A and B are shown apart, each in its own frame.
Chain A
Amino acid sequence: MITLGLIGVQSLQTPTGFASIPIGSWALATATPMVFALASMTDTSRRLREELALLAYGSAAWYIGARYFLRGLACALVAITPFVFLEYSLQHLTLPTVVLATLLVPVAGGLSYATPALSRMRSKRFAENYKG
C-alpha cells in the first residue's frame, strides 16, 4: 500500500502525470500483485498460526482463502482509489479506464494476497505444524 501510495504521490508531482506515461499503467498492474504477494508472505508465522487455528476449528481451506482474497481486495481498493480518482480529476484517465482500474487492480491484489496462503495450506508440510 505504501509503495503504491508513493508511486501515486510521485506521479502527481511530475508535470505530465503518471497515467500519461504509457509504462505507468503496466507498472501499476505489475506492482500491485507483487506488493500484495510480498505482504502476504511476510509475518508468515502469525498467519500460519491463524490458518492452523481456523482449520482446527473446522473451517474449510477455501473459506480462509476467500478471507485473504477479500482482505487483499479491500487493501488494494483503499490504496489505488485516491490515485485513480486524482488522475481522473486531472483528466489523465478516462472513465472506462477508471472503472477498469478500480475493478481489475483490487482483484489482482486479492488474488495475489490469497495465493501464497492457499499454496501454504495445500503443501504437505502444513499438517506437520500440528505436531509437537
Chain B
Amino acid sequence: MTNLVETVSVRMAYPFSEGILTLYEQGVSLMVGNGDFVAVLGGSGWGKSTLVNVILGLERPTGGTVYFRGEDVTTSSFVKRCGLVRTSAVFQRPTALPQLTVGQNLHLALSLAGISKRERNDRVKEGLGFFGMDGLERAYPDSLSAGQRRRIDLARALAIKPQLLVVDEPTGDLDTSAENIVLPLLRGLNRDYQISVLITTALPRCASIAKRMLRLKPPSITAPVNKTVGL
C-alpha cells in the first residue's frame, strides 16, 4: 500500500559566513503510513522544524525527494500536497489570528478547507470539545495561556479531519501539566480517529508515545572551499 508521506534522502544545506551548515548529512528517509504515529527525535538546532517545513512544502530541500501518496511533490506547494493527502499542521509558534475569536479562527480554517457552512458548527464544537476548550469559543487567542493556544491549534487541525497531522514540538512552551494533557490527546487522535500523526520533539519521553521513532543526527559545519588564484 502507498504511504501517505515518504521522504527519500532529504538533505538541507545552509551557507553562512563561516561555512556551510549541513542538516541530515546522510539524508533523512522517513515513511508515514495510514494510521501511523511517527516521532522525529533530535536536539535543538538539528533540523526538526526544517524537516516539518520540507514535508509541508514550505522549504525546498537541497537534495532528496518528498512523496505524497507516491507522487513526487518536492517542488509543490502546501496546498497541492493537501490535495493529495488532507494535511493539518500545528507549528511551534501559535498561528491563530489574534483579531478573531477561537470559534471564528476554526470557522475560517474550515471554510478555507471547503467545509460547508452547515457542517462547520458541529466540527468546531467537536474539535473544541475533544481538547477540553468548550467554553472558550468566544475568547480571543491572545487572552489564553500557551497551553490553551496550543490546544486551539490542535482543535483547528482536528476540525479539518485530516488524514495526516503534523505537529512540530507538541510540548514546546508547555508546562508538565499541559504536556500531560496534550500528549494523551495526540495518542487519542491517532487511536480513535485513525489520523496519521507525525510529531517532532527533543524529549525522548514525548517521542515514546509514538509507534515509530526517527532519530536525527547533529548537523555538521564544513569550512568554505577557498578558491586560490594561480600566479
Is there an interface contact between B53 and A127, defined as CB atoms closer than 8 Å?
Answer: yes
Tell me, yes or no, whether A96 is within 8 Å of chain B by CB: no
Closest to B160 in A: A58
Is there an interface contact between B92 and A130, defined as CB atoms closer than 8 Å?
Answer: yes
Q: Which stretch in A6-14, A34-42, A47-55, A72-80 binds the other chain?
A: A47-55
Is there an interface contact between B89 and A131, defined as CB atoms closer than 8 Å?
Answer: no
Residues in chain A near residue B88, CB distance under 8 A = 58
Q: How far is the CB of A118 from chain B (nearest CB, A)?
A: 13
Distance, CA A129 to CA B92, complexed state (A):
9
Selected from A53, A54, A57, A127, the residue in CB contact (under 8 A) with B58 is A127
A131-B59 contact in complex given A54-B112, A58-B109, C-beta closer than 8 Å: no
Residues in chain A near residue B105, CB distance under 8 A = 53
Tell me, yes or no, whether B96 is within 8 Å of chain A by CB: yes
Residues in chain B near residue A127, CB distance under 8 A = 53, 58-59
Tell me, yes or no, whether A97 is within 8 Å of chain B by CB: no
Distance, CA A46 to CA B96, complexed state (A):
12
A131-B93 contact in complex given A55-B78, A57-B108, A61-B77, C-beta closer than 8 Å: yes
Is there an interface contact between B82 and A131, defined as CB atoms closer than 8 Å?
Answer: no
Tell me, yes or no, whether B64 is within 8 Å of chain A by CB: no
Count A interface residues, CB 8 Å.
Answer: 19
Tell me, yes or no, whether A25 is within 8 Å of chain B by CB: no
Q: How far is the CB of A62 from chain B (nearest CB, A)?
A: 9
B80-129 residues with Cβ-Cβ distance < 8 A to A are 82, 88-89, 91-93, 95-98, 105, 108-109, 112-113
Tell me, yes or no, whether B6 is within 8 Å of chain A by CB: no
Is there an interface contact between B58 and A132, defined as CB atoms closer than 8 Å?
Answer: no
Q: How far is the CB of B193 from chain A (nearest CB, A)?
A: 18
Count B interface residues, CB 8 Å.
Answer: 30
Tally the A-B contacts, defined by beta carbons under 8 Å.
66
Distance, CA A72 to CA B190, complexed state (A):
44
Tell me, yes or no, whether B72 is within 8 Å of chain A by CB: no
Q: How far is the CB of B54 from chain A (nearest CB, A)?
A: 9
- Chain A CB within 10 Å, residue with most, of B77, B93, B160: B93
Selected from B77, B95, B160, B169, the residue in CB contact (under 8 A) with A53 is B95
Is there an interface contact between B82 and A130, defined as CB atoms closer than 8 Å?
Answer: no
Closest to B92 in A: A132
Residues in chain A near residue B89, CB distance under 8 A = 56
Tell me, yes or no, whether B11 is within 8 Å of chain A by CB: no
A53-B96 contact in complex given A127-B58, A127-B59, A132-B172, C-beta closer than 8 Å: yes
Is there an interface contact between A130 and B109, defined as CB atoms closer than 8 Å?
Answer: no
Tell me, yes or no, whether B65 is within 8 Å of chain A by CB: no
Is there an interface contact between A60 and B77, defined as CB atoms closer than 8 Å?
Answer: yes
Q: How far is the CB of A83 from chain B (nearest CB, A)?
A: 31
Is there an interface contact between A49 and B58, defined as CB atoms closer than 8 Å?
Answer: no
Is there an interface contact between A130 and B173, defined as CB atoms closer than 8 Å?
Answer: no
12 contacts between A and B (CB under 8 A): A53-B97, A55-B58, A56-B95, A57-B95, A57-B108, A57-B113, A58-B79, A60-B77, A60-B79, A130-B49, A130-B91, A130-B93
> Known pairs A53-B96, A60-B79. 7 more at Cβ < 8 A?
A50-B97, A58-B160, A59-B79, A60-B77, A130-B92, A131-B168, A132-B172
Name B's A-contacting residues (CB within 8 A): 49-50, 52-53, 58-59, 77-79, 82, 88-89, 91-93, 95-98, 105, 108-109, 112-113, 156, 160, 168-169, 172-173
